[in-house]
Amino acid sequence: MTMQNRTLIAFLAFMVIAIVAPFFLYPVYLMKILCFALFACAFNLLLGYGGLLSFGHAMFFGGASYFTGHIAKVWGWSPELAILAGTACAAVLGLVAGFIAIRRVGIYFAMVTLALAQMFFFFSLQAPFTGGEDGIQGIPRGHLFGIINMRNDMALYFFVLAIFTFGFLFIYRVIHSPFGQVLKAIRENEPRAISLGYKTDNYKLITFVISATFAGLAGATKAIVFQIASLTDVMWQMSGEVVLMTLVGGMGTIFGPIVGSVVIVTMQNYLAGFGEWVLIIQGVVFVIVVLAFRKGIVGELIAWYDRRERRKQAGEEVEIVHAPATAKAEHL
Amino acid sequence: MFELIGIPPQAFYAQLTLGLVNGAFYAVLSLGLAVIFGLLNVINFTHGAQYMMGAFAGYILLTLFGVPYWGALILAPIIVGAIGIVIERTMLRHLYHLDHLYGLLLTFGLVLVIEGLFRQQYGVSGRPYPNPLPGGQNLGFMFLPNYRLWVIVASVVVCFATWYLIEQTRLGSYLRAAVERPDLVQAFGINVPVMVTLTYGFGVALAGFAGVLAAPIQVVSPMMGMNIIIVVFAVVVIGGMGSILGAIITGYFLGLVEGLTRVFYPEASSTVIFVIMAIVLLIRPQGLFGKAK
């Protein structure tokens, strides 16, 4: 089975599950998973394929969440336009932050993005339109295209699923485009990519902006689903959460971020009543994954599958090698 | 002059010393980060949590065991440093052969665990720590609280001692050699892994020391670590981690700038260091004291 086929089958399986799931599970829980999965997919594009670890993605997620909330509530725009506008704001924010952050790489890049996000956190705390400690509450879900009532959880779920699918396929396309190939080359060996004539800074900046835009799309959608935008969304813990989801699922894999967000969101739901233990257990998971489990769930599955394929192939080769030997034996 | 810009001189000098006090913490913390980064190539995200642990160690020593401030000032860094050594031996050690980012991720995970445990135990509200040096000096133009003076003096002494240890002693020369070529230093018969462990322990102990120093000024709370470490990261980016002296100077300087901002434009005081970081990145990406690659 080629890689392409494997991905296609996995994608179709995911779509079937995603379409059937809301008839069995609580739609709001599933929408939360979808929002975080899109957030993690956007983050994974930057870390898994660009090799850039951002510790400030909450800035785009929470920023878009605030903008969308304000636009939907105060300006009264319909949800799809509010989400679009919020996402556009995140893209602009990504352009500014990316322009500053890509001047450094590696550990410094992580520290710079963290600091920029903290700056945005203080902005959100002080700016009048964000509502400070209270956040923006009671954001109207409104009517999609002015017709479909988004108060219906089912209708909203399929709207969110459509947004997620669009984002997922867009990011997939970016990864598998010539652009994505150059990106991987930069990740592996930036000086070589530069010597081949690629303007690596441009590639990194564009990737950063795409990543920020889809993180924003996820945050904007989340604001409509939960009808709230708050400081939680722009805090450093949120940036850490998306790193954790991507790591647990498997960074640099197509489906890893989805699996990771399912695991982490589910864990949070079950542990919600245990106070600070959510934080502690997330930290423990973080430590275990980094020490012993760096490929993540999907990464380990792929590695296991590849090993099996190789063994199978090796087994066939052994038979071929053995065949003449037995023939010779027969001769004797 | 002060009447012209409408700021009472008392407030001006008070904010200036407060800035210098904050700068003292930035300097000690970024110094510890730089020492650890130099040898381990790990950005110690846990540094803030270890600073918080230092403050709590002082608080626990006082309330549970009756150990006074001056005892805690010695004991707490040893305790926090020892915990750091355990972390290095059992976890960090296994990541040196990988991308540096894994060290960052591991220590971030540890932050969540440590902060979570303290929040579980002590809640999110702060705990007061009695001031061991009440009163102050009247300098004529301003009133200087004794404890602030002590913080500035203590941090300068510690920073200078660390600089002397690393730049001027034989032990420091081993350390600097191991930063350049650990394999060669090992070949000369120096136990580099032990040196790495002790360096981490020392850097962490510095954070613990800063924590005890901070306890009487700032409320002792589980969140105090993360709030300061993000600023310290920005300080480190501005200074560049190339030199010990650079880290110290940048720390005090940015504390002063923050204090001045609080006088002239209070709304920006929490973000001014980040703004400076952005500007420095645009003009001199390697940092003020960093070496260009």
Q: How many structural domains does chain A have?
A: 2
Q: SS3 of A314, please?
A: helix
Q: What is the predicted pLDDT for the residue at A192? A: 92
Q: CA nearest B46 in A: which residue?
A: A283
Distance from CA of B256 to the nearest CA of A (A): 19
Give the CATH number for residue A50: 1.10.3470
Coil, strand, or helix at residue B98? Answer: coil
Residue A137 dihedral angles phi and psi, to the nearest 5°:
-110, 160
Closest residue in chain A to residue B122, using alpha carbons only: A276
Q: Is residue A1 part of a domain?
A: no
Q: Using CB atoms and an 8 Å cut-off, which of residues 246-305 of chain A contact chain B? A: 247, 275-280, 282-287, 289-291, 294
- Going residue by residue through chain A, which has 332 residues, state the pLDDT in tens, using 9 for 90 and above: 455 788 888 899 999 998 888 888 888 999 999 999 999 999 999 999 988 999 999 999 999 999 999 998 888 888 889 999 999 999 999 999 999 999 888 888 888 899 999 999 988 988 888 877 788 888 888 777 777 777 788 888 999 999 999 999 999 999 999 999 999 999 888 899 999 999 999 999 999 999 999 999 999 999 999 988 888 899 998 999 999 999 999 988 999 999 999 999 999 888 888 878 888 999 999 899 999 888 889 988 888 988 888 888 887 766 555 544 444 443 43
Handedness of CA B31, B36, B41, B47 (dihedral sign): negative
A209 touches A94 (CB < 8 A): yes
- On average, the pLDDT of chain B sits at 88
> Does the beta-carbon distance from A104 to B237 stay under 8 Å?
yes
The answer as to whether A7 is a domain residue is no
- For the record, the structure tokens of B144 come out as 């200087």
**Cβ–Cβ gap B43/A104 under 8 Å:** no
* Domain range annotation of chain B: 2-97+146-283
Name the range with the highest mean pLDDT among B65-79, B119-133, B175-189. Answer: B65-79
CB-closest option in B100, B116, B281 to A280: B116
The reply to whether A223 falls in a domain is: yes
d(CA A202, CA A188): 17
Distance separating alpha carbons of residues B277 and B268, to the nearest angstrom? 14
* A178 inside domain: yes
Residue-range definition of the domain harbouring residue A71: 21-294
Residue B122 tokens read as 């002590």
Predicted complex ipTM: 0.87
Check pLDDT > 80 for residue B4: no
Is A2 inside any structural domain? no
Q: Are residues A269 and A177 part of one domain?
A: yes
Q: Among B101, B112, B230, whose Cβ lies nearest the Cβ of A118?
A: B230
**From the list B94, B95, B270, which residue is nearest A122 (CB)?**
B270
Q: Do A53 and B270 touch (CB under 8 A)?
A: no
Flag if B101 and A100 touch (Cβ within 8 Å): no
Shared domain check, A122 and A150: yes
- Residues A78, A115 within the same domain: yes
Give the tens place of pLDDT for each residue, B96-121: 888 888 889 999 999 999 999 999 88
pLDDT at B251: 92
CA of B233, closest CA in chain A: separation in Å? 6
pLDDT in tens, B17-74: 889 999 999 999 999 998 888 888 888 999 999 999 999 999 999 999 988 999 999 9
Residue A255: the pLDDT is 92
Q: Is residue A231 part of a domain?
A: yes
